[in-house]
Structure 1
Amino acid sequence: MELTTVVLKPEELDRAAAFLQRGQCVAFPTETVYGLGANALDAQAVAAIFTAKGRPQDNPLIVHCASEAQVLSLVGDVSPEARKLMRRFWPGPLTLVLPRADKIPLVVSAGLDTVAVRIPSHPIALQLIEQAGLPLAAPSANLSGRPSPTTARHVLEDLGGRISAVVDGGETGWGVESTVVDCTTKPFRLLRPGGVTLEELESVTPVLVDPGVYGQLQPGSTPRSPGMKYRHYAPRAHVILVVGKGAPERIAALGREYQAEGKKVGVMAPAEHCSAYQEFTTLPMGSLSNLQEISANLYRLLREADELRLEILLVEGITEAGLGMAIMDRLRRAAEVYIQEG
């Protein structure tokens, strides 16, 4: 049954909270991307998230809280090292995987004995959680596999008629999802790069990068974090990611080949390099000197590729240092072909 999706203003959070208290799904802005929230303590409400998104049931959700006290009520033992990360990066784009308390339904954690939790820094998200009086299980508010939404319009494109409401808080800030760290292992493991960089984490405590960051998990395995197992963030265009010193030349050559076949070709590249691709539709990512800008533009550009009806999207890779690790993680998972050139 199709729903009427109500678009709410930030001053109408009381209405959004009422939807959540009735077990319905509401999309809302965070500092990373828009999330699709439901009462994390209500298994039926959480199940509605999976239905709306078409999300695989073995993909765990992140629970969003408004305070450390609320987090601690949902988890088991928290190590001193994990508390250091909480104090350093919360509220903010860091998710911690911790032992799951019994009150968290298994559907939230995909049957695992852990739960992923975070405190967002976006004022609308915090106020909504407080007004609802509930922790909110909230993946990104998009159809599963599509680019994550950074505006309310993106949410409506994917989920209009499938959810009760979306709170329109304008564009989000980081543009990529939160960093996910498994705090149940020694040393801690980085499961998904995001807004908090590996370098920032390592300034607080030792962290290993999980092998799943560089390659999708095997079929039949249960991911300990969202974003590890399935193809994600993908537009409808065929995405080819090219990295290395020879990337510009390879991209230009591939673009000409596809154009000769009659394909509509676009190139997504750092602003400094777009002049090399003038024969194609260019999507400037932002400056290499400002990875935050590239991060904020990433999903918008992947959606723009669809609006332009591109059939082939060639993407020039960037550095993996700092925030570049999260950007490249998303591009690898969006791409159908990955080429190392030089």
Structure 2
Amino acid sequence: MPVLQGNDPAALQRAAQALAAGELVALPTETVYGLGARADDDAAVAKIYAAKGRPVGHPLIVHVADEAGAAAFAAAWPASARRLAQAFWPGPVTVIVPRRPGVATASAGGQDSIGLRCPSHPVAQALLRAAAALGVPGVSAPSANRFGRVSPTRAAHVAGEFEPDLLVLDGGDCEVGIESTIVDCTRAHPVLLRPGRLTRAELEAALGEPLQERDAAAPRASGTLTSHYAPRAQVRLMDAGHLRQALAVLPPTGADGRPPVALYSRTVRPASAAMPFRPMPEDAAATAHELFAALRELDASGAALIWIETPPAVPAWEGVRDRLQRAAAT
């Protein structure tokens, strides 16, 4: 698998040319690494679905270099989308807007709406602009991992997920670490479809109105299935009290000699030094930044179970709680 430095102009040009030719490229964003294809080419986008094992009706997010680039895909630009883009683009928020007919049908999963985002990562920005110069209006890029599994936040995480000829741009560790917030802007009042790093208060301040809750009328959106972001090991969320009780009766090793449990917690520590363990940061943003890397590390320990202390039920932790609840819903 060719892993190229994202700050190398020659590597960026090679990646842009690959996108223009309808090939796949793994690229860094500030949220997670994405598996990208030119969004205006349904045959190229079909390669994403095939590589990930992703259901073709599950829509992708299209990445554009700036707000002006959204015009290639949006049939309308509602006031709520404009306010969010002006407040947070480039940045980790995706807006769902009416889709321009005949454009990005595969990326939209056949829906008449489309998810658009302008990433802030400098490598993603440079690639989008280099690709645009070659006639690529935007790049569809879900997380660069097998469908439903733990998202990658380092170039090394992408290695081994796909065929060895996939071109990967290395942009270092992702700053945010969890996927973007998604807001449905197709209706009279905006609806939060997926929480992320941005809090409801920040979003509502930019919108000038409260966010509505997701309902049956909401369009399908990336990363909103009940079970998602799951490692191979089974994830179980527990509050600190139940976690201590469960650890107190846990045998030091399983019948096969492997650790029965790996632990990720804020306030609870393992009774045995042999137990795979990652301390969860006290800060929500720091936890989001390391979350998927921590899950991958604990999964690699060979434990059949990963026990995780439930994060605080406060707004700052909503994005992390969402990812952990989906990881545990297997």
Q: Please name the residue that 1:330 is paired with.
A: 323
CA distance in 2, matches of 1:260, 1:28: 39
Tell me, in whole angstroms, the C-alpha distance in 1 between the residues paired with 2:87 and 2:236.
Answer: 37
- Matched position secondary structure for 1:107: coil
Q: 1:33 to 1:277 in 2, by over 3 A?
A: farther
**Does the CA contact (< 8 Å) of 2:150 and 2:296 recur in 1?**
yes
SS in structure 2 of the partner of residue 177 of structure 1? coil
Residue 166 of structure 2 corresponds to: 164
Equivalent position of 1:225 in the other structure:
221
1:256 to 250, 261, 280: 250
Structure 1 residues 223, 310: closer, same or farther in 2, change over 3 A? Answer: farther
1:177 offset after TM fit, Å?
0.3
1:207 aligns with 2:211: yes
The Cα RMSD (Å) is 2.2
Supply the distance in 2 between the matched residues of 1:104 and 1:49 (Cα, whole angstroms).
17
Deviations, residues 14-60 of structure 1 (Å, cap 9, x unaligned): 01111111100000100000011100000000000001111111210
User: How far is the alpha carbon of 1:259 from its aligned partner?
Assistant: 4.9
Aligned partner of 1:192 in structure 2 is 194
* Residue 9 (structure 1) aligned to one of 5, 10, 18: 5
* Residue in 1 that maps onto 2:108: 109
Contact 1:99 / 1:113 at 8 angstroms: preserved in 2? Answer: yes
- TM-score, normalising length from structure 2? 0.90
Is contact 1:179-1:195 (8 Å) kept?
yes
Q: CA deviation at 1:145?
A: 1.4
Aligned pair count reads 319
> 1:306 and 2:308 equivalent?
no
Q: Deviations over 1:246-268 (max 9, x none)?
A: 33334425x61695666621111
- 1:211, distance to aligned residue in structure 2 (A): 5.3
SS where residue 237 of structure 2 aligns? strand
- What SS does the corresponding residue of 2:43 show, helix, strand or coil? helix
Give the C-alpha shift of residue 323 in structure 1.
3.5
Instruction: Say yes or no: does 1:238 pair with 2:234.
Output: yes
Query: Aligned partner of 2:170: which letter?
Result: D
Long gaps (5+) in structure 2 = none
Deviation string, structure 1 residues 64-90 (Cα, Å, up to 9, x no partner): 000111112210222223211111111
2:206 aligned counterpart, secondary structure: coil
Q: Distance in 1 between matches of 2:246 and 2:73?
A: 48
Amino acid of the structure 2 residue aligned with 1:318? P
AA at the equivalent of 1:334 = A
Q: 1:138 aligns with which of 122, 137, 141?
A: 141
Residue 291 in structure 1 maps to residue 321 in structure 2: no
Q: Structure 1 CA distance, aligned partners of 2:102 and 2:272? A: 54
The corresponding residue for 1:247 is 242
Q: Distance in 1 between matches of 2:125 and 2:251?
A: 50
Q: Which residue of 1 aligns with 2:311?
A: 318
Question: Is the contact made by 1:54 and 1:143 (CA closer than 8 Å) also made in structure 2?
Answer: yes
CA contact (8 A) 1:145 1:234 kept: yes
Q: Matched residues, percent identical?
A: 39
Alpha-carbon deviation of 1:186? 2.8
Which secondary structure does the structure 2 equivalent of 1:246 belong to? helix
Is the aligned partner of 1:75 residue 2:69?
no
* TM-score normalised by L of structure 1: 0.87
Kept in 1, the 8 Å contact 2:78–2:97? The answer is no
Note the alpha carbon deviations across 1:231-281, whole angstroms, 9 max, x for none: 2111111111113x633334425x6169566662111112x4336675732
Secondary structure in structure 2 of the residue aligned to 1:71:
helix
Q: How many angstroms apart in 2 are the aligned matches of 1:185 and 1:310? A: 45
**Aligned residue identity for 1:186:** A
Judge conservation of contact 2:76–2:99 (CA < 8 Å) in 1. Answer: no
* Pair 1:186–1:278, CA change in 2 (3 A): farther
Segments of structure 1 that go 5 or more residues without pairing to the other structure are: 213-220, 338-342
Alignment pair present for 1:281 and 2:276: yes
Partner AA of 1:316 in structure 2? E
Q: Does the CA-based 8 Å contact 2:60-2:115 persist in structure 1? A: yes
Distance 1:258 1:112 in 2: 51
**CA–CA distance in 1 between the matches of 2:252 and 2:46?**
42
